[in-house]
C-alpha cells in the first residue's frame, strides 16, 4: 500500500511540508502590504490553473483523450471556481467565497495525508522528468492548502462563527451538480458521492446497500466536518456576544442604581453647592455646555466660555452635587441709558437624571439673590412656547407672560 505512508507517500509528503513551511516563514518575514498578499494569492491561483491544464495535456499525450472522470467536478476542483471570487471580486461576493475557500484547506490536507486517488501506484515521482499525474496532483493540493490557509494567516479573511452557514450554502450547490453528473455519466464519482472510489470500507459498504443513503451520509458527514471546523469561532463569537450583553446589562444596572440613589435620597440634594463660574472652574463649565448644547443655538456659548467670563455682564452659576457639575444658569445684565438694570435669563439647564429634585429651583433662587445684589428691577426669560413644562416652572416662581412672548418677573430691590 505505497499510497498510504509507504516510501513514495512519505517522500512526496515531506517535500510538500518543506515547501509549506518555507512559504509561511518567508511570507511572514518579508510580506507586510495587503496588496502584496493579494498578489501572492493570485499567483498561487494562476499556478493551480496551470497545473490543471497540464494534467489535461498530459492525459491527451498519454491516452489520446480526456476521460469524463477527470473533469473538474470533484471536491478538490471547487477552488478553481471559488478562489477567483476571493482575489478578483468585490467585497460582497468575496465575503461569500472566502469562508468556503478557507474550508478547502481541509480536503487538501486530507488528500495529502490519505492520497488514495492521486498518488498513482507504479508511477515514480521522477517519471517523465517529474511531469506525471502524481507530481501534478501533489503540487496542486499543496497549493490548494497554502492558498486556503494563507487566506486566514494573512488576515485577508477573518473567520466568523456564522460563516459555516455560507460554506453549507456553497457546498450544497456543488454537491447537487456532482450528483446530477454522477447520474448522467456511468461510473462517475464526482465529489466522491458516486461510486465512492478510495473511500474507507464503511462508506463503500453503505454505497453497496443504497447509493442515495450513501449520498445522504456523505453530505451529513461533510456538514458535521464543516461545523466542527468553525466550532472554535462559533464558541468565540458566542462568548464575545455574551460578554457584550453582560457589559451592557451591568451599565443598565449601574444606571438604575445611580438613579435609585438619587431618587431615594433627595435629602442629599439639599447639599447642592451653588458657585460662581470663574477662571478656575471654567473648564468644567465649557465641557458641560459643549455636551448640553451641541448643535444648538448655544453651541457658540460653549466654545467661548472663557471669553464670556471676562465680561462682567455675563454671570454663570454652577450647581455641584458630590463634586459633580449637574446644573448651570446663565444671566446677562443690561444697563439702559437712565442707569436702570434688568437681566436676561439665558438658560437654566439641569442634567436629566437630577431633574425634579429641586436643583433648578436652587439655581433660580441663587439667580434672584445675585440680581437683587446687582439692583436689577426685572428679569426676562426667552422661552420656547412649545415647552409647556418650562413655562409652568417659571410661572410657578412668579414669572408672567407678556405680549412679546417672554416671561417677565419684577424683582424687589
Q: What is the pLDDT of residues 54-68, one digit of tens each?
A: 999 988 988 888 888
Q: Can you spell out the DSSP letters for 65-80?
A: S--GGGSS-SGGGHHH
Taking each helix axis from N to C end, the angle separating 133-153 and 91-103, rounded to the nearest 10 degrees, works out to: 120
pLDDT at 267: 52
Integer Cα distance of 403 and 197 in angstroms: 96
Integer Cα distance of 230 and 133 in angstroms: 33
How would you class 23 by CB atoms within 10 Å of its CB: exposed for 0-12, middle for 13-18, buried for 19 or more?
middle
DSSP category for residue 296: S
What residues does 345 pair with on adjacent strands? 331, 381
Q: Is the pLDDT of residue 304 over 70?
A: no
- H helix intervals, 64-200: 78-88, 91-103, 105-113, 133-153, 164-184
Q: Is the pLDDT of residue 410 over 70?
A: no
What would the pLDDT profile of 230-278 be if each residue is shown by its tens digit?
999 999 999 988 888 877 766 655 655 555 554 444 455 777 888 888 7
- Return the closest-CA partner of residue 77 out of 190, 179, 166: 190
Mean pLDDT of 210-224: 88
Helices (H) and strands (E) in the chain, counts: 14, 7
Q: Is the pLDDT of residue 343 over 50?
A: yes
Is there a contact between 131 and 14 (Cβ–Cβ < 8 Å)?
no
Query: Which grid coordinates belong to 204?
Result: 463503500
pLDDT at 335: 80
Distances (CA, A) of 286 to 305, 321, 330, 335: 6, 18, 12, 27
Integer Cα distance of 103 and 101 in angstroms: 6
Strand pairing report for 341-350 and 376-382: parallel
Query: Which grid coordinates belong to 147?
Result: 492558498
Share of the chain above pLDDT 90, in %: 35
Q: How many CB atoms lie within 10 A of CB 24?
A: 15
What would the pLDDT profile of 69-119 be if each residue is shown by its tens digit?
788 989 999 999 999 999 999 888 999 999 999 999 999 999 999 887 777
Is there a contact between 58 and 132 (Cβ–Cβ < 8 Å)?
yes
* pTM of the predicted model as reported, rounded to 2 decimal places: 0.61
Which residue has better confidence, 84 or 4?
84
Domains of the chain: 7-244 (no CATH), 269-410 (3.40.630.30)
Confidence class for position 350, pLDDT limits 50, 70, 90: confident
Q: Tell me how far the alpha carbon of residue 378 is from its chain's centroid.
A: 57
pLDDT at 295: 47
35-39, 300-304, 309-313: which is most confident? 35-39
Amino acid at each position: 500500500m505505497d499510497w498510504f505512508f509507504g516510501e513514495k507517500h512519505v517522500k512526496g509528503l515531506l517535500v510538500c511540508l518543506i515547501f509549506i513551511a518555507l512559504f509561511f516563514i518567508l511570507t511572514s518575514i518579508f510580506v507586510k502590504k495587503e496588496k502584496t498578499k493579494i498578489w501572492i494569492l493570485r499567483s498561487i491561483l494562476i499556478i493551480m490553473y496551470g497545473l490543471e491544464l497540464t494534467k489535461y495535456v498530459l492525459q491527451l499525450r498519454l491516452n489520446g483523450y480526456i476521460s469524463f472522470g477527470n473533469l473538474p467536478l470533484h471536491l478538490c476542483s471547487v477552488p478553481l471556481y471559488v478562489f477567483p471570487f476571493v482575489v478578483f471580486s468585490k467585497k460582497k461576493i468575496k465575503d461569500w467565497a472566502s469562508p468556503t475557500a478557507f474550508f478547502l484547506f481541509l480536503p487538501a490536507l486530507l488528500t495529502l495525508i490519505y492520497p488514495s486517488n492521486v498518488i498513482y501506484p507504479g508511477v515514480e515521482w521522477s517519471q517523465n522528468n517529474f511531469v506525471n499525474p502524481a507530481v501534478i496532483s501533489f503540487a496542486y493540493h499543496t497549493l490548494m492548502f497554502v492558498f486556503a490557509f494563507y487566506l486566514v494567516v494573512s488576515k485577508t479573511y477573518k473567520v466568523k462563527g456564522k460563516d459555516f452557514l455560507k460554506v453549507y450554502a456553497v457546498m450544497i450547490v456543488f454537491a447537487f451538480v456532482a450528483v446530477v453528473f454522477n447520474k448522467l455519466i456511468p461510473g462517475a464519482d464526482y465529489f466522491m458521492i458516486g461510486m465512492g472510489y478510495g473511500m474507507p470500507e464503511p462508506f463503500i459498504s453503505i454505497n453497496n446497500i443504497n447509493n442515495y443513503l450513501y449520498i445522504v451520509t456523505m453530505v451529513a458527514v461533510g456538514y458535521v466536518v464543516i461545523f466542527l471546523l468553525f466550532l472554535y469561532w462559533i464558541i468565540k463569537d458566542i462568548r464575545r456576544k455574551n460578554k457584550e450583553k453582560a457589559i451592557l446589562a451591568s451599565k443598565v444596572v449601574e444606571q438604575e442604581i445611580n438613579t435609585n440613589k438619587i431618587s431615594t435620597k433627595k435629602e442629599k440634594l439639599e447639599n447642592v453647592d451653588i458657585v460662581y463660574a470663574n477662571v478656575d472652574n471654567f473648564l468644567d463649565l465649557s465641557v458641560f455646555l459643549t455636551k448640553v448644547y451641541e448643535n444648538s443655538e448655544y453651541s457658540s456659548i460653549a466654545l467661548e466660555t472663557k471669553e464670556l467670563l471676562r465680561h462682567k455682564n455675563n454671570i454663570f452659576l454652577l450647581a455641584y452635587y458630590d463634586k459633580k457639575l449637574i446644573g448651570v444658569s446663565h444671566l446677562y445684565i443690561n444697563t439702559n441709558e437712565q442707569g436702570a438694570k434688568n437681566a436676561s435669563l439665558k438658560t437654566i439647564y439641569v442634567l436629566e437624571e437630577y431633574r425634579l429634585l429641586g436643583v433648578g429651583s436652587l439655581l433660580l433662587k441663587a439667580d434672584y439673590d445675585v440680581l437683587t445684589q446687582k439692583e436689577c428691577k426685572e428679569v426676562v426669560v426667552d422661552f420656547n412656547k412649545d415647552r409647556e413644562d418650562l413655562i409652568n416652572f417659571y410661572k410657578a416662581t412668579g414669572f408672567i407672560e407678556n405680549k412679546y412672548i417672554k416671561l417677565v418677573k419684577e424683582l424687589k430691590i
